[in-house]
């Protein structure tokens, strides 16, 4: 997989961002959250709402 970054302005690669995985999904990078149950193999992360909005615009939404 070679995801394309579609949201977030990261210069050093370790800030909140969204990626088009080109398989109908969007991957996000953010701060892991605790206290919320995630299923096996899942991780819940927090990203600024603007990242989600920017990703939606990039995907034509």
Please count the structural domains in the chain. Answer: 1
Residue range 41-55: mean pLDDT, rounded? 96
Rounded CA separation 38/55 (Å): 23
- The percentage of the chain sitting over the pLDDT mark of 90, rounded to a whole number, equals 84
**Span 26-44, pLDDT tens digits:** 999 999 999 999 999 999 9
Q: Can you give the residue range of the structural domain that contains 34? A: 4-58
**DSSP string of 12-42, one letter each residue:** SS-S-EEEE-SSS-EEEE-EE--SS---TT-
Residue 16: count of CB within 10 angstroms of its CB:
19
pLDDT of 18 reads 95
Residue 19: count of CB within 10 angstroms of its CB:
19
pLDDT of 14 reads 75
């Amino acid at each position: 997989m070679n995801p394309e970054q579609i949201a977030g302005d990261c210069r050093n690669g370790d800030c909140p961002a969204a990626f088009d995985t080109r398989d109908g999904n969007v991957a996000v990078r953010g701060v892991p959250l605790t206290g919320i149950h995630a299923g096996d193999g899942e991780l819940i992360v927090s990203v600024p709402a603007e990242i989600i909005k920017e990703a939606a615009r990039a995907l034509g939404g």
